Amino acid sequence: MDIKESIKRLAKEKNAVILAHYYVDGAIQDIADFVGDSLALAQQAAKTNADIIVMCGVHFMGETCKILCPQKKVLIPDPNATCSLAESCPAKEFEAFVKAHPDHKVISYVNTTADIKALTDVVVTSGNARQVVEYFPKDTPIIFGPDHNLGNYINSITGRNMLLWDGACHVHEKFSVEKIVALKKQYPEAKVLVHPECRGAVVKLADKVGSTAALLKYSIESEASTFIVATESGILHEMQKRAPQKTFIPAPPDDATCSCNECNYMKLVTLEKVYNCLLNESPQVEVNEEVARRAVLPIKKMLEISEKLGL
Ligand code: 13P
Ligand code: SF4
C-alpha cells in the first residue's frame, strides 16, 4: 500500500484528524483532512471530535491544539519543527517587558510558545490581528509581540502606537525588494501578494497584504492572472491547485541561490514522519498544566472575538 493510503487508513482506524498549514510540503497538504492558516487551524482544533490531532506544522501550532484540547492526544511529526519568530521571544525577557508596563494590555501573535501566551490578554493571528486590536478602545495602551513587522503594519493601518517586541521570522524578513521590483518589471500586470510578517519596504510593494488564507482568497477571486507571492512558498501549492489557469511566481529572498523562500522548520514534516507518529502515537505535544490553564484564556478570547466578527 502506498504511504499516503497507509496514513489515511491509520488515521481512520484511530479516529485521528490530520491538520496541515499551507507552508508544509504539498504532499502533506494533499493527505490532510484540513489545510489552513493559523487562525483556521486553531478553529478546527477547537471543534474537532477526533481522539487524536496530528498537527502538520510547527511546534507552537501543536501547543495551541493541546491547550485547546487537553484531553486529546496531539501528535507532531517532528518536534524539531520550531519557529524562529516564536524563538525570538524568550519568556523571561518578555515577562520583564510586560512587568515594566503594568498598565498595558498584552496582545501576542499565535507564533509564540505557551509560556508567552500565559502572559497574554489576547492572542491574534495574521488573519484577525487588525480586528482584535481594534476591539480595544483607541486609547488602550497595548504591548504587541513578538513580530515587529506585523506590529508596525497594524500600527500603520489602525493609527495605534502599540509598544512592539523586536522579534521577526527569518523567512519573511528575507524577501528582496529589488528582486520583487525586477519581477514586477518583467510581469507588469502581476499583483504582488505580501504577508504582514514581511519588512515594511516589501509591504509597500503589495497590492494585497494578508494572512496566507487571505492571500489565497484574493488570488482566486482576483481578475488578474499572474501573482508574485511574498510569503513562504508552500502556499503556492494550494494557489495553483485552486486556480490552475493562473501563474504564481514565488518572490525570491535576498540571499537567493534559490528562487523561492522556504521555512526549513515547516519542511521538516514528511510523509514518513506523519505515518510514524500516527503509528507510534508519538511524539506527543505536552504543555505544563498550570501554563495551559492560563494560556487557554487568551486563545479562547481570540476565538470568541473572531466568531463575533464572523472571521
Ligand atoms: P498565517 O497562517 O496566519 O498566515 O501565518 C503564517 C505563519 O507564519 C505561520 O507560521
Ligand atoms: Fe515561524 Fe516563519 Fe516558519 Fe512561520 S515561516 S513557522 S513564522 S519561522
Nearest to 21 by CA among 47, 55, 44, 64: 55
- Which three cell numbers, joined as nine digits, stand for 66? 493541546
Atom of ligand 1 nearest to the CA of 60: 10
pLDDT, one tens digit per residue, over 224-270 is 999 999 999 999 999 999 999 999 999 999 886 677 789 999 999 99
Residue 212 Cβ inside 6 Å of ligand 1? The answer reads: yes
Per-residue pLDDT of the chain (311 residues; tens, 9 = 90+): 799 999 999 999 999 999 999 999 999 999 999 999 999 999 999 999 999 999 999 999 999 999 999 999 999 999 999 999 999 999 999 999 999 999 999 999 999 999 999 999 999 999 999 999 999 999 999 999 999 999 999 999 999 999 999 999 999 999 999 999 999 999 999 999 999 999 999 999 999 999 999 999 999 999 999 999 999 999 999 999 999 999 999 999 988 667 778 999 999 999 999 999 999 999 999 999 999 999 999 999 999 999 999 99
pLDDT value for 260:
77
For ligand 2, residues with CB inside 6 Å are: 23, 58, 83-85, 111, 169-172, 232, 263, 265-266
From the alpha carbon of 215, which atom of ligand 1 is closest?
Answer: 4
Q: Supply 112's cell numbers.
A: 509564540
Q: Which of 109, 233, 265 for a ligand 2 pocket mutation test, highest count of atoms within 8 Å of Cβ?
A: 265
What contacts 24+ positions apart, CB below 8 Å, involve 161-165?
Answer: 162/107, 162/133, 163/101, 163/104, 165/89, 165/94, 165/97
Residue with CA at minimum distance from ligand 2 atom 6: 83
SS3 label, residue 102 = coil
Q: What separation in Å is there between the alpha carbon of 23 and the centre of ligand 2? A: 9
Distance, CA of 121 to CA of 104 (rounded, Å)? 10
For residue 16, the cross-strand partners are 52
What lies within 8 Å, CB to CB, of 298 at 6+ separation is 108, 117, 120, 121, 122, 123
pLDDT attached to residue 257: 65
Q: Are strands 191-194 and 226-230 parallel, antiparallel or unpaired?
A: parallel
- Taking the centre of ligand 1 as the mean of its atom positions, its distance from the CA of residue 2, in whole angstroms, is 30
pLDDT digits (tens, 9 = 90+) for 47-60: 999 999 999 999 99
Q: Is 231 helix (H, G, I), strand (E, B) or coil?
A: coil
Predicted TM-score of the model (pTM):
0.95
The partner residues of 7 in beta bridges, in order of sequence, read: none
Q: Distance between CA 74 and CA 53 in Å, rounded?
A: 5
Q: How far does residue 11's CA lie from ligand 1's centre (Å)?
A: 25
pLDDT number for residue 129? 97
Question: CA–CA distance from 311 to each of 22, 48, 125, 308 (Å)?
Answer: 18, 18, 11, 8
DSSP conformational letter for 128: T
Atom of ligand 2 lying closest to residue 84 CA: 8
User: For residues 246 and 128, what is the distance between their CA atoms, to the nearest angstrom?
Assistant: 27
User: How far apart are the C-alpha atoms of 159 and 3, rounded to whole Å?
Assistant: 51
Query: What confidence score (pLDDT) does residue 256 get?
Result: 61
What is the structure's pLDDT at 250? 96
Q: Could you say which DSSP state residue 14 is in?
A: T
Closest ligand 2 atom, CA of 23?
5
